[in-house]
Amino acid sequence: MHVRMLNGGVAAACLVALSLTAGQAAAAAPRAADAPLAARVLTYDAGGSAEFKSAVNRGAAIWNESVDAVELRPVAAGQRANIRVLADNGWPRALPTTLGNGTVYIGRQAVDQGYDTIRISSHELGHILGLPDRKPGPCSSLMSGSTAGTSCTNPYPNAAEKAEVEGNFAGVLAERAPAGRAEVIVD
């Protein structure tokens, strides 16, 4: 994963402010002007995703491979996740509440029609990361969703989709670790 650059004094001040206002922040030593900026960490709970759990984990890994400004991690036991992932018998959908937060449904209806579970997972997580549907669209566009057809198994965002997510999370100063945990991402 690549990381951004930020002045150490500003980063340290913002980390203190985050810990006072949100109760969650990453601990960090002062950084040099050329030190990397940590990605925003979003946790997800795939416990309710039933038979789609491995597809959800792969969809999250694809986003982690594709963008620098945000990282998706499974939630730690006893912690509250930013993203809840559930399986149901309907059509796949995402219900974002705020950027990086919400509920994803991996609907069996689309799977039964032949749509790829990893593409569905990656697409729906894209909505939580702030991306809209782009229908109709080609298979090369992850956010084209079902309009690319059942033969499309591409689970990767294209360059424009990656750039949009990077822009959505630009300026985020620190990881938002679950309450009670403080850590720094070092890659």
Task: Respond yes or no: is residue 124 known to be catalytic.
Answer: yes
Q: Is the bond preceding 136 in cis, omega lying within 30 degrees of 0? A: yes
For residue 24, what are the contacts with CB-CB under 8 A and spacing of at least 6? 18, 176, 177, 178, 179
Nearest to 1 by CA among 43, 57, 60, 77: 60
Catalytic residue, candidates 71, 124, 161, 175? 124
- Count Cα atoms within 13 angstroms, Cβ side, for 161: 25
Helices (H) and strands (E) in the chain, counts: 5, 7
Which positions are catalytic? 124
